[in-house]
Structure 1
Amino acid sequence: MLVGLQNVTFEFGARTIVSEATWHIQPNERIGLIGYNGTGKSTLLKVLVGEYLPSAGTVEKSRGTSIGYLHQDLLSFDTNNSILEVALSAFERVQQLEVEIEKLGKELEATGDEKILHEYSDKLHELETLGGYEIHHRTEEVLHGLGFAQQDLSRPYREFSGGWRMRVLLAKMILQQPDLLLLDEPTNHLDLPSIEWLEKYLQHYKGSVVIVSHDKFFLNRMITKVVEVYQKQLHFYNGNYEFYETEKAMRVELQQRAFENQQDYIRQQERFIERFRAKATKAAQAQSAMKRLDKLDRIEEVEIERPNIKINFRIDKTPGKILVELKDITKKFGDNIIVEHTSAEIERGDKIALIGANGKGKSTLLRIIADVESFDGDRKWGHNVEESFYAQHQLEALNVNNTLLDEMKTAGSQKTEQELRTLLGCFLFSGDDTDKKIKVLSGGEKARVALAKTIVSKANFLMLDEPTNHLDMHSVELLVEALNKYEGSFILVSHDRYFISKAANKIWEIEDHKIKEFKGTYAEWVAWKERMAKQAAKAEKQVTTQAASQASPSPAATPVPAAPAPAPEQKPANNQPINKELRKELQRLQKQFSQIEEKIAKAKEKAAALEASLADPATYSDKSRFTEAESAYKKQASELAELNKQYETVFEKIMEMESEIE
């Protein structure tokens, strides 16, 4: 064990975060710490590192365990040092050795003392053991991976914005290689390429990692265990986020069904007692029934911690076919070209995700579309377009003296006060929060108010810049659901791959200073990109092989005439053996597919039978019988889920193979 909580209770004033929680973090674990906004995930990390002391219980830590903790409060750190120097400070001992070696080198040069020579040699050996000669290369590699260009490395740390500063501190922490990394929303300030780099890096990280994040894609790829803070307890799930969602739904369903069936059983017993306790012949049985009820382990009803509030858009006007037209657009910042002589159109029904690395100009392009950024070229609104633009700078447009509710009323949605309160609930404002003044809100809270105002407007075209940055997973789900039902069009910038994959039907990417459009979902775009990369690699390999064969001299003593190019009709003949093998493999997969289908049908029958036994009230009169039935049902459900996975995998392979044969 590296670090652990043993029967820990932690309270913030009158509010309990966790009660009698036990959690041991083992070496090489990948853990996602999740929970609704405000349940205390970040607080729990502070308890683990000793910043907060528990009200009861103990925090245990193995001797020598090193912890790296990345959190938003680190942004208070400031320095004139370059970002390379800040990241290199991860290697404290190496830097200290470098100073000592330089000093000893000068002394040795002056005196030639043998004692100094030995000390100098020992220090050099220690430097080599610690990998001191590689630290500059390793540091630059990590900083490049997190999105910094070579010319940025010598720039002072304080010249960078908060998001970029956080990347430098993340780089430093990664380079320190602690036994346990605690990362609080590490992807908040990263673009897609940097998130993908971080994923690959952490997957090979030798220590343990605990991540608090609202990025489902990131969690799914990174973690093998979920710890959920729910109703003041810690709940454990051995799997990634997808497994947690399935398992949690099953646990909730089983618990609710068990509760309802037990309630039926209790009501039956109570009716029996009420009816027969006054009769002498049945009094003993009634007494026994009362004792059984007293001894019964009561199953708690499932309480939904947050209700599923619906976000609804209202549109007054239907726009024309073209909403925005961009013609021959050029935008530069000095020598930095964002787009050059590029054109594009946004049509009615388009739900576009504008993606790519930071610094490519996504937000700038969004501002050009919104007509709030200067540029060369033409942009034109279509007929009947009513737009609404959400971006961080809109926080300044909020009236700081208004309450949240009054500010929402200024959006002109004609919604009732109750409807506006309900909508604010989706954006994590509940109860008395709606009567707070805007001026007392944090930056993240103001961002959520601005987003709620954008959503409540009657616009038929939305422009959204990083709308999920300050939302929890539940609110992201609600926003996705709302945007899927939205009858208008939108273009959004986001680094949340789950959000993009669920919301967008088109992908825009700025490449070579042009807008490149892909008509399809994010998943289809990723698959297409991978295919293009494979084709490019294959073509490059062929060119290299051809060049090598042309460069190597012929071993024959006499010149050999060049072979004629194969005729086009010979090509199918060459492919025949390959096609034969492919067809053979396809037949094998189709047979396997049929077998899996049969297994799924049988597994469903078994699951239905077990479900029927769980629906029997008599099951709940005997705790061991209920536990056995529940365990069997879970096992069967897990088997069914695994079969469904196999079904999808084999189906995809069959589709791929059929397209290859064609």
Structure 2
Amino acid sequence: MLIALQDITFEFGARAIVEDASWHIVPGDRVGLIGLNGTGKSTLLRVINGEYTVSKGSVNKIKNLSLGFFNQDLLSFESDESILNVGMTAFEAALKLEKDIERITLELETNEAEALLMEYADKLHEFEALDGYNMRHKTAQVLEGLGFSTADLERPYSQFSGGWRMRVLLAKLILQQPDVLMLDEPTNHLDLPSIEWLEKYLLGYNGAVIIVSHDRFFLDRMVNKIVELYQQQLHHYAGNYEDYEQEKDLRREMQQRAYENQQDYIRQQERFIERFKAKASKAAQAQSIAKRLDRLERVEQVDNGPSKIRINFTPDKMPGKIITTLNNVTKRFGNLTILQNASAEINRGDKIALIGANGKGKSTLLRVIAGVEPMEGERIGGHNVVQSFYAQHQLESLDLNSEILDELKNFGSGRTEVELRALLGCFLFTGDDVYKRIKILSGGEKARVALAKTIISQANFLLLDEPTNHLDMNSVQMLIDALAQYDGTYVLVSHDRYFVSQTANKIWEIVDGEIKEFKGTYAEWEEFKKRQADAAKLAAGDKNASESKKKEVKTERPANNNNNNNNSGNKNNAKVETPQKNVPFDKEKQKELQKYKRQFQQLEEQLAKLNEKKATIETAMNNPDVYADRKKFQQLEAEYNQLGKELKQATEEYEKVFEILMELENN
């Protein structure tokens, strides 16, 4: 065990963050720490980090435990050193040794004393043991993995924006390789390629990792445990975020059944007490039952968390079939070309996600589409198009002296105060928060106000630049649900893969100055990219095999070929054996296809039977008579849990076979 939080209570001022909470962190843990905004997740990390002292309980750590904590406060760090040098400060001991070795090397030029030579040899050995010769390479590798170019490595840290600085500090923390790595919203500062690189790196990380993140895809791929901070308690779940949701639903269902059964029991006992408390022969029994009820440990009614308020977009008018057309658009910033004679068309009903690495021009293209970015070429707006553009720079349009509620009222949407307050609640402004003046809000809070204004704009064409930044998972889901019901058209930029996967029916990328369109969902696009990568590997393998075969052919000459250089006719004497003809590929492919089709059908039948069995058990578990029989209920519960595992395994196999079938049919 690395860290043990034992029955801790911690108050932040008058507010309790956790009460009598326990948590044990062991090597190999990859934990997602989740909870609503404001519940104290980051504060809990600071408790673990030793920045705060608990008022009750204990925080125990193994001796010489190393902790790494990635958080927003790191931005206070300043340096004019290159980012490579900043990253290399992770190797503090090796850097000190390197300076010592340089000093001793200079001394040895004039002093070859045996003691100095021995010290030099010891320092070299220690430097090698710390892998000091590779620290520059390792640092460059991690920085480039997080999105920096090779040319960037020698640029001063002070020249980079806040988001890029956070990447440098994340690289430094990763290179330090602490026993416990704590990451507070690490993906906020990363683009998709960098997030994917970080996932691969952390999956092989030897220490424990604790992650606070609103990125569901990241948590699903990264963690093997979930700890939820809710109502001052820590609730522990095995598995990733998807497993957590399923398990939490099951726990709620069982708790609700237990609550309802207990309420039935309490009502029966109370009726007995009320009926017989005045009857002499039953009064003692009634009094005994009343005492038993007082001692009864009550099952609490299920708390379903924050209410699911529905957000509605209401387009004011129907646009024409074509929303916007771009013809031969070119956009440059100095020597940097973003778009080069690029053309694209946005049609009514398109739900487009514009994805790719930072610096490729996604936000610039969004502004070009909006008509607010100067460019070469032609932009043609469609008939009856009413657009609304949400981006960070739109925050400038907010009236800083207005209260939040008034800012939305003055926008002229015609919605009632009750509707506006409900909408603001979705974006984490509750109670008297709606009366705060905009000038005192943080950058994230202002962004949420601007997004709320976008939603009530009654536009039929939305342009959304990173709309999920500063939102918790609950609010992101509400926005997803709203966009699913939206009748208009939108183009969005987001690095939140779950959000993109739930909202887009087309994917756009900027590749070599052109706009590349993929008609399909994010999952289909990922599968398409995977097939492309596999095909490229296969082609590379075929090419290498072909080159190897050519070399074999060239070296396979007849024994008596002394005159080959002088007699061109003898070139035909080289004996090249014709390889045996393989079984036709199509025939083999058809056999394989039929095999997987049979397997797919069997899995479909197996899943149907398992789901039918699951429904039967659920019906039985809902029966009050069964629930009253503890032994029978525990047996059913065990069967239900085992069935869940079988269903999960069968579903994974089903999806795997389906993917193989799709690949065979499409190739």
TM-score using structure 2 length? 0.94
Partner of 1:210: helix, strand, or coil? strand
Q: Is the 8 A contact 1:600 1:640 kept in 2?
A: no
Matching of residue 633 in structure 1 with residue 637 in structure 2 = yes
Give me the whole-angstrom Cα distance separating, in 1, the residues matched to 2:79 and 2:655.
Answer: 56
How far apart are residue 635 of structure 1 and its match? 5.0
The letter of the residue matching 1:649 is E
The letter of the residue matching 1:226 is I
How far apart are residue 371 of structure 1 and its match? 1.1
The aligned counterpart of 1:500 is 500
Comparing 305-314 with 193-202, greater Cα deviation is found at: 305-314
1:310-325 alignment, distance < 5 Å: 310-325=310-325
The letter of the residue matching 2:116 is I
Distance 1:452 1:592, change over 3 A: closer
1:601-620 alignment, distance < 5 Å: 601-612=612-623, 615-616=624-625, 619=627
How far apart are residue 563 of structure 1 and its match? 7.8
Percent identical among aligned pairs is 56
Structure 1: unaligned runs, 5 residues or longer = none
Q: Is the 8 A contact 2:556 2:575 kept in 1?
A: no
Q: Is the 8 A contact 1:227 1:234 kept in 2?
A: yes
Distance 1:589 1:461, change over 3 A: closer
The letter of the residue matching 1:580 is K
Distance 1:444 1:626, change over 3 A: farther
Distance 1:324 1:661, change over 3 A: closer
How far apart are residue 651 of structure 1 and its match? 5.5
How far apart are residue 281 of structure 1 and its match? 3.9
Q: List structure 1 runs of 4+ shifted beyond 6 angstroms.
A: 561-566
1:192-591 alignment, distance < 5 Å: 192-552=192-552, 553-555=554-556, 557=558, 559=573, 573=584, 575-577=586-588, 579-580=590-591, 582-584=593-595, 586-588=597-599, 590-591=601-602
The aligned counterpart of 2:661 is 657
Give me the whole-angstrom Cα distance separating, in 2, the residues matched to 1:105 and 1:136.
Answer: 21
The letter of the residue matching 1:550 is K
Partner of 2:154: helix, strand, or coil? coil
CA deviations over 1:173-224 (Å, ceiling 9, x no partner): 0000000001000000000000000000000011100000000000011000
How far apart are residue 67 of structure 1 and its match? 0.3
Distance 1:142 1:99, change over 3 A: same
Cα RMSD (Å) of the superposition? 2.2
The letter of the residue matching 2:598 is Q
Partner of 2:187: helix, strand, or coil? coil
Give me the whole-angstrom Cα distance separating, in 1, the residues matched to 2:170 and 2:14.
Answer: 34
Give me the whole-angstrom Cα distance separating, in 2, the residues matched to 1:33 and 1:214.
Answer: 10
Partner of 2:280: helix, strand, or coil? coil
Partner of 2:310: helix, strand, or coil? coil
Matching of residue 95 in structure 1 with residue 95 in structure 2 = yes
The aligned counterpart of 2:562 is none
How far apart are residue 413 of structure 1 and its match? 0.9
Q: Is the 8 A contact 2:257 2:622 kept in 1?
A: no
Q: Is the 8 A contact 1:231 1:305 kept in 2?
A: no
TM-score using structure 1 length? 0.94
How far apart are residue 533 of structure 1 and its match? 1.0
The letter of the residue matching 1:640 is G
Give me the whole-angstrom Cα distance separating, in 1, the residues matched to 2:55 and 2:663.
Answer: 63
Comparing 627-636 with 102-111, greater Cα deviation is found at: 627-636
How far apart are residue 418 of structure 1 and its match? 1.4
Distance 1:589 1:382, change over 3 A: closer
How far apart are residue 416 of structure 1 and its match? 0.8
Comparing 185-194 with 404-413, greater Cα deviation is found at: 404-413
CA deviations over 1:563-607 (Å, ceiling 9, x no partner): 8999xxx99845435533553454355445434533443343233
Partner of 2:211: helix, strand, or coil? strand
Give me the whole-angstrom Cα distance separating, in 1, the residues matched to 2:595 and 2:350.
Answer: 43
Partner of 2:65: helix, strand, or coil? coil
The letter of the residue matching 1:157 is Y
Partner of 2:64: helix, strand, or coil? coil
The aligned counterpart of 1:646 is 650
The aligned counterpart of 1:163 is 163
How far apart are residue 556 of structure 1 and its match? 5.1
Give me the whole-angstrom Cα distance separating, in 1, the residues matched to 2:111 and 2:274.
Answer: 104
Q: Is the 8 A contact 1:90 1:176 kept in 2?
A: yes
CA deviations over 1:140-193 (Å, ceiling 9, x no partner): 000000000011111111111110000000000000000000100000000000
Give me the whole-angstrom Cα distance separating, in 2, the residues matched to 1:403 and 1:268.
Answer: 53
How far apart are residue 548 of structure 1 and its match? 1.6
Q: Is the 8 A contact 1:327 1:343 kept in 2?
A: yes
CA deviations over 1:459-508 (Å, ceiling 9, x no partner): 11110000111000000000000011011110000000000000111100
Partner of 2:90: helix, strand, or coil? coil
Q: Is the 8 A contact 2:33 2:211 kept in 1?
A: yes
The letter of the residue matching 1:162 is G
Give me the whole-angstrom Cα distance separating, in 1, the residues matched to 2:632 and 2:139.
Answer: 54
Q: Is the 8 A contact 1:4 1:48 kept in 2?
A: no
Distance 1:630 1:513, change over 3 A: farther
The aligned counterpart of 1:594 is 605
Structure 2: unaligned runs, 5 residues or longer = 560-572
Give me the whole-angstrom Cα distance separating, in 1, the residues matched to 2:346 and 2:468.
Answer: 22
Distance 1:175 1:456, change over 3 A: same
Partner of 2:495: helix, strand, or coil? coil
How many residue pairs align between the two structures? 652
CA deviations over 1:229-282 (Å, ceiling 9, x no partner): 001100000111000011111112221222122112111111122112223343
Q: Is the 8 A contact 1:600 1:644 kept in 2?
A: no
The aligned counterpart of 1:61 is 61
Distance 1:178 1:74, change over 3 A: same
The letter of the residue matching 1:60 is N
Give me the whole-angstrom Cα distance separating, in 2, the residues matched to 1:655 and 1:493.
Answer: 28
The letter of the residue matching 1:657 is L
